[in-house]
Amino acid sequence: RKEVEQDPGPFNVPEGATVAFNCTYSNSASQSFFWYRQDCRKEPKLLMSVYSSGNEDGRFTAQLNRASQYISLLIRDSKLSDSATYLCVVKYSGAGSYQLTFGKGTKLSVIP
């Protein structure tokens, strides 16, 4: 059962490029959405939450489309330090139920 699906990657892009990652989710009752970043052999860390109206944090822009059950992450002016795996995360929480589902991740390599 694939509840959260991401672009398979890997994405190999030159420095300065713009790159976009997509993610779809199957539970229409999902309430909250996030992008996490995971460096090789390290723990995941929150990159940004995704808000309904879309949100931006420096070079990073996240978008949510509830009707299409689709989330995106745009990275502008890619840096070498952006090389990592990006995890799409979807949360559902209700009476007696809690689901935090991670996508398998998309690997990004930024090349000099």
- Chosen residue from 87, 90, 108, 110 binding another protein by CB under 8 A: 87
Q: What whole-number distance in Å separates Cα of residue 51 and Cα of residue 8?
A: 24
CB atoms within 10 A of CB 60: 17
Beta bridge pairs of residue 65:
70
Quote the CA–CA distance of 40 and 1 in Å, as a whole number. 26
Among the residue ranges 13-21, 54-62, 74-82, 94-102, the one whose residues contact another protein (CB under 8 A): 94-102
Which two structure tokens, joined as six digits, stand for 7? 């672009």
- Angstrom distance (rounded) from CA 2 to CA 74: 23
Stretch binding another protein (CB under 8 A), from 16-24, 62-70, 74-82, 95-103: 95-103
Instruction: Name which of residues 13 to 42 contact another protein (CB under 8 A).
Output: 31-32, 36, 42
Contact with another protein (CB under 8 A): which of 46, 56, 77, 79?
46
Whole-angstrom distance, CA of residue 49 vs CA of residue 107? 19
Task: Rule CB under 8 A: say whether 65 interacts with another protein.
Answer: no
The smaller minimum CB distance to another protein, of residues 45 and 59, is found at: 45
> Which residues are registered as beta bridge partners of 14?
111
Q: Which one of 12, 16, 39, 45 is in contact with another protein (CB under 8 A)?
A: 45
Q: Which residues bind another protein (CB under 8 A)?
A: 31-32, 36, 42-46, 49, 87, 89, 91, 93, 98, 100, 102-105
